[in-house]
Chains A and B, each alone.
Chain A
Amino acid sequence: MGTIWFWIVAAMLTIYVVLDGFDLGVGIVYLFVARDEQDRRKAMHAIGPVWDGNEVWLIAGGGTLFFAFPLLYASSFSGFYLPLTIVLWLLIVRGLSIELRAHTHDSVYKTLFDATFSFSSLVLAVFFGAALANVIRGVPLGPDNYFFLPLWTDWRTGPNPGILDWYTVLGGVLAGLALALHGLLYLALKAAGVLNTRSTMLAKRLLPIVAVITLASVPATVIARPASLEHYQQHGIAWLAPAMVVVSLATIAISLARGWEWRAFLGSCTYLASMLVGAAAGLYPVVLPSVGTAGRSITIDEALAGPHAVRVGLVWWAFGILLAIGYTVTVYWLFRGKVPEHAEGYGH
């Protein structure tokens, strides 16, 4: 039962990253690829109908984490108190920037909201990456299963880490770049014209950088947390994830060269999903590793809610998630295709 819930939560958070990832990515590259008002509107319209629904995957994933693994939720959310609160503030700024931009005629305010939208998207992506890297590296759990991390200490992994050290910064940079690529591929898919060519061109340049850092992240992870390799050796099937990472990077490269927009974007979705699944496989059956000696790592079994709770949960969850997938597919279907070129009737 614990294993099922582990993968359910991992899957929901993965879907969140894949979906919200592209609208965060659009935010990151927005100022560079969408230079004039027409293109900026187009970029906004490409994510407009879906970004809020994408964010719901974070809320629902968080809620599911809460009820399936209360101990993990309690320990990690209070331990990462400051960065999480900053994430919340950024989500507020970002949501409002998107909303307010659509409300105003004034070019000064538009410039302001463009900047806050782009800035908050970038910092959010970096924070999410750093957060994941923190979980992989481990935290200094105390005997009571709690911890509290300062923002930084000496920038080294080891028994006295901070939220930011060389490894988590690497994770943040990789997330920022990977989501930027994801956003570019989404824009290329959804937009025609200048926006399309510019996005494609930038994606071609970004891809090798993402590939190199991805490669570098493997030895980095082994240094930061040697145990992750053991998990891989115990469960041979886990090697599928890194294999898929390589395949998907190759797919993106080939598709970009041939101009296959759909395949490039799907490749990027697969890339993100395989990275996350790979990270989860490296953790399993631990959910929050401990560094230092004071406490032990939190495992699935320890964190899992009571047996009856998780059993009834499975029933309604399966039912509810089918509905949710139904809504998500419907919305994407309704707003399929390229954002139309001539947005007549806009503004004024």
Chain B
Amino acid sequence: MEAMARSDVQLMLDVKAGDGASFELLLRKYRTPLVHYLGRMVGDSATAEDLAQEVFLRIYRARSQYAPSAKFTTWIFRIATNLALNARRVGRYRQLEIPIQQVSQSEEGDPRVLEIPDGQPGAEQRLIARDRAALIRRAVEELPEKQRAAVLLHKYEEMDYGQIAAILNCSESALKSLLFRAYETLRIKLAPLAGGGVEQG
């Protein structure tokens, strides 16, 4: 409730003024989007958690110099993106199968088990759903890093083009081309999951 009453920028300004409770609100609001985004970026949930903690630590360290020159979301995801790209470059992540928690989030933010749409999820349906999810995850992770970041920020974080362009340090026009190439690759790779056939090209 309080987080909604105050904008993220205001919360951060309060953190700057020494209000620890405001930092807790930001932590609660951004922990899930950050862990999800970083998990998809680095392909490893343990590294994603570690990097997400690092993002909050950097925000805390930077509090005294904080100036609201950009949207808070842009700032925090820019930090996360830089950390993820660096982690991949230095090989900090482990390329193993991600032990994905098969969970989604309810409106209240409480974790719950991912429900198979059928209503009576049998073992076979669970396996199918898991295989499909694994295929999607792998296809996204195989995208070049900038395309991957663009898709994750666009599709899952639902950011506008200006924000994504600022995070990825490119023009909006370049971002549109980046997104088109990324979605085209995914369209072809994930064709087996589509109901109808997919024309290659």
Chains A and B belong together in one complex:
no
